[in-house]
Amino acid sequence: MNERMAARGPDGSGDWVSSDGRVAFTHRRLAIIDLSPRGAQPMLSADNAIAITFNGEIYNYQELRAELEQKGHVFRTETDTEVLLQLYVDRGPAMVEALRGMFAFALWDARSRSLLLARDSLGIKPLYYADDGWTLRFASQAKALLAGGAVSREPDPAGIVGFHLFGSVPEPFTVWRSIRALPAGTTLTVDATGPHAPVPYYQVAASLQRRATEPACDPAAARAKLRAAVHESVRYHLVADVPVAVFLSAGLDSGALLGTMAELGVRDITAVTLAFEEFRGTPNDEAPLAADVAARYGARHIVHTVDRAEFERDLPAIVEAMDLPTIDGVNTWFVAKAAREAGIKVALSGLGADECFGGYPSFADLPRAVRFLRPFHFMPGVGALLRGALSTGIRLGAGWHPKAAGLFQYGGDWAGAYLLRRAVYMPWELGSLLEPDLAAEGMRRLGPVGRIGAQLKAGRPLGAFDRVSALETALYMRNQLLRDADWAGMAHSIEIRVPYVDPFFLAALPPGEILDAVDAKAAVADIPSPPLPESIRHRAKTGFTTPVGQWLHAAAGMREDVSLSTASRAWARHVWRAGWPEMALT
């Protein structure tokens, strides 16, 4: 298991086994805070009663350490890992609520003979576990559990169906029945009776609901609050004993991070931009505008240009590094590769800003769909009947997208509309992709519409902006974007930090309806001083895309001017066949 995760921690490796041989930890180290040997893991408390193996960073560890020292705790290292050990002694499992950072850790308490597994609030760092009734195993990668040789590879229909619906596998499922993801924002305790159920300590919708109850503020105050929140989050995310770089696109979000870093006094910043040969001279080319932003804030600018030949050379390694199948992550693979070649260990990313500030089309599309199609939601059977009729028309060559058939069946409520918006394949298409029995069982166990709807439970109903924000944060960002950033970054030993993905940051923002009213996405341009240039402000949003669809279609002798949706489907099929060919494909 340790060897399978070597890229996650090339700076050191360690093992610990309890005196009775019943518990064992292994760890790979990527040294970022306290680079000395004292920071090695697994780490033990001074009395050897508590052991920990920890992946991630705790950005407020210095504040927590000062509080603990005031209570009489004595520290032997300068690490955030030891802060976790001492904080557990002080607060027990409730410690997780005080942590600002990204983390997955396992902590063995010999006094109570119990194991605590914990994962950060928003799911930046992964944690997988398998329990066969005799032994519980856990790791930062599902494939590391398989590498140990004692975990079953039996496929899980729910995870397989989830991938084909969403382009990623929704937690807690994986594509193997025996392996589960510990859900974001939960802890799990294992004692003599076995593993208990995961206990949530953070929920996105509930957090947005609490924020919505705050007093309203005028537009100027809202923008000032937004600016202050970004500055504070960036300041925390710069905590490191190695230089911190930034992944820079031609968009507002990463540009604001770079500008804020410069404003906070960071010197010798390296900005890494990904470009594609096929995009040269087109609006999708990130490099020219990114160069303008890098120059504006005095950053050293590295541009890595990928062509089809490099993609084809790296493709086997990309699919092998994927812990779970995904239709995304290729862009992060190549920008992390460029960062590693430049000697970088840590980089900030603008991931998560669109979920906070309403940057996706879904913030307009979902409320519109629900408003206009809601009557069909209250007419049982009519939507399905219309879907059958429309599907027939699509099969006969009407020229519509397959999703059009589901408008009346799914578009009238929030969960259904979100499924329609984000799905790669629709439920009624699964029978032609997978074995029918597998598809049926997967749909039954996954329950996609109910699973989506569960993300909106917050006591009182959320407003439209916050509903979309909750769905995109708890589903698309968590299951796809963050997971892709982790596997693709760590495959190159790069720690990707995401200042916009932070529960403390989210809580410090104005309420969602205020963010919507002040056009928070546009206001991001004014966060740094000097603000972002006009060329960035008025650039049409293209997304951080790759020409993968064109490459795959060209390799198959097909036309190259494919739509994003067609490209997603082509990539999904290729990834699945290349990486998981044994799992019941028709």
Q: Which domains occur in the chain, in start order? A: 3-202 (3.60.20.10), 205-359+472-544 (3.40.50.620), 362-466 (no CATH)
Is 70 exceeded by the pLDDT of residue 58? yes
Residue 29 corresponds to which amino acid?
Answer: R
pLDDT for 396 equals 46
The burial of 540, by beta-carbon neighbours within 10 Å (0-12 exposed, 13-18 middle, 19 or more buried), is given as: exposed
In 3D space, the residue among 19, 57, 486 whose CA is nearest the CA of residue 244 turns out to be 57
Say what angle helices 436-446 and 157-166 make with each other, to 10 degrees: 90
pLDDT digit string (tens) for 317-356? 999 999 999 999 999 999 999 999 999 999 999 999 999 9
In 3D space, the residue among 323, 327, 272, 481 whose CA is nearest the CA of residue 7 turns out to be 323
Cβ-based neighbours of 215, under 8 Å, separated by 6 or more: none
CB neighbourhood size of 82 (10 A): 25
pLDDT digit string (tens) for 506-516? 999 999 999 99
CB neighbourhood size of 504 (10 A): 16
Say what angle helices 330-341 and 308-321 make with each other, to 10 degrees: 100
**Taking residues 508-527, what's their average pLDDT?**
93
Is 70 exceeded by the pLDDT of residue 555? no
Is 60 exceeded by the pLDDT of residue 453? yes
Phi, then psi, of 106 in degrees rounded to 5: -125, 135
Which tokens hold the place of 277? 């040969």
Q: How far is CA 490 from CA 9, 33, 141, 205, 497, in A?
A: 8, 17, 11, 29, 12
Better-scored residue on pLDDT, 582 or 122: 122
The answer to whether 170 touches 220, Cβ cutoff 8 Å, is no
Is 90 exceeded by the pLDDT of residue 148? yes
pLDDT for 112 equals 95
| 3-class state of residue 403 by DSSP | helix
| Residue linked to tokens 């972002």 | 532
Which tokens hold the place of 157? 């229909």
Phi, then psi, of 466 in degrees rounded to 5: -70, -30
pLDDT digit string (tens) for 182-195? 999 999 999 999 99
Give the HSE-up count for residue 67: Cα atoms under 13 Å, Cβ half-sphere. 13
The answer to whether 334 touches 306, Cβ cutoff 8 Å, is yes
Pairwise CA distance, residues 359 & 541, whole Å: 9
The burial of 132, by beta-carbon neighbours within 10 Å (0-12 exposed, 13-18 middle, 19 or more buried), is given as: exposed
Which tokens hold the place of 285? 């080319």
Bridge partners (DSSP) listed for residue 244:
346
Residue 580 CA from chain centroid, whole number? 22
Strands 199-200 and 194-195: unpaired
Residue 148 corresponds to which amino acid?
Answer: G
pLDDT digit string (tens) for 398-415? 556 667 666 777 878 999
**Taking residues 485-514, what's their average pLDDT?**
96
Is 80 exceeded by the pLDDT of residue 451? yes
Pairwise CA distance, residues 521 & 505, whole Å: 16
pLDDT digit string (tens) for 261-284? 999 999 999 999 999 988 888 888
